[in-house]
Amino acid sequence: MKSDVYLIKVASSDIENRITALKKLLHAISPFSVYAKNELVPVKLTIGDSSCVYNVSPELVKVVVSEIKKKQAKPFLFDTSVIYHGERQNALDHLNLAQYKGFSHSKVGAPFLIADGLLGQDGKEFEIGSKYLKKIKVPSFIGMLDSLVVLTHATGHILSIYAGALKNVAMGMSSRSTKQMQHSSLKPKVTAKKCNSCDCCLIACPAQAITHKDGKAFINEEMCIGCSECLCACKFDAIGVNWHEDVDVFCKRMVEVAGCILAQFKHKFFITFALDITKECDCISDKNEKMAASDIGILASRDIVSLDKATADLVGEDKKAHYLQKSKGVYEKMFAYAAENGLGNLEYNLITL
């Protein structure tokens, strides 16, 4: 059975035109009618790093928030901390950046939360037990609330080539340790010159795999279980991620994490903004970033796989999308794996409004 994916075309960078299009989309399909009065509704988004200017704009987020509030539900915006350098490695800097980029309560109408705690270590664990991941750690509200809205900026990506809603959920809704495990089978490493021998990583390590060597922290790889709690505990950026990983394995891990997370919600709705489609994702891109495709529009669905597939298909039809097209086999295999694992359908009805 095919899933419905809704599209409203937008070829303008004018924010008022985009707001009008989004309102038309939401009014046509009424996705929030299932919400109960006073229901807490998490709205997932990323504000991008400090240099990024192409993330989903706060003006568009405000439209979504307003529509949810019309149902007398209580929306809140959220994201989690990242594992690379930047202003989103901890909740304090992340919140300051959100304010700076226009995501304050006064501007969007809802609070913005960093859902995995001050240093990205808070949350609860879910068992997966797959070939690629045994368990994951996610924000603690997952499994407690009924509904989820996911706002995604479609972009290119250095590994998965296309980054859409699946990536937004898998990476953006997991704690830092699970981000590390998705990115790499290799164990964390210590940069000795940055280590201050504070012992925070020793205390955090559940496997007692960290000791001192030459006055610096040292990770015994044979004892290390790859949980990456040390990555969260280190305040001096001395413990880093081994980024090397097979791309197909990376994509399958993302699918498995997204599947576990999404299974915890009864009502899910996904909106993807196929606008300002940059070659790199919002973690890397800046004002000088090259566009990987022309503006397509705004897409929405209750099926995350159909939505990602439809968005990628539309982007692939664009004459500018050489980067995304030449390696489309990477993300197409990811979509197929997601469908095989019950996350959604590869076949869809594209309904243009």
User: What secondary structure letter does DSSP report for 193?
Assistant: G
Per-residue confidence at 186, pLDDT binned at 50, 70, 90?
low
Mean pLDDT of the chain, nearest integer: 89
Per-residue confidence at 290, pLDDT binned at 50, 70, 90?
confident
pLDDT at residue 65 is higher than 90: yes
Helix, strand or coil for residue 330? helix
In the chain the domains, ranked by start, together with CATH numbers, are 3-182+244-352 (3.40.50.11440), 187-240 (3.30.70.20)
Of the candidates 6, 254, 268, the one whose C-alpha atom is nearest the C-alpha of residue 146 is 268
pTM: 0.85
- Residue with structure tokens 């987020």? 61
The β-bridge partners of 211 are 218
Helix, strand or coil for residue 333? helix
**CB-based contact 21:10 (threshold 8 Å):** yes
Contacts of 99 (CB under 8 A, 6+ apart): none
The tens digit of pLDDT for each residue in 125-149 reads 999 888 888 899 999 999 999 999 9
The tens digit of pLDDT for each residue in 210-252 reads 888 888 888 887 777 666 667 667 878 788 766 566 788 889 9
Of the candidates 191, 217, 185, 221, the one whose C-alpha atom is nearest the C-alpha of residue 204 is 217
Helix or strand holding residue 254 (H, E): helix 247-262
The tens digit of pLDDT for each residue in 165-174 reads 999 999 999 9
Indicate the residue type of 20: T
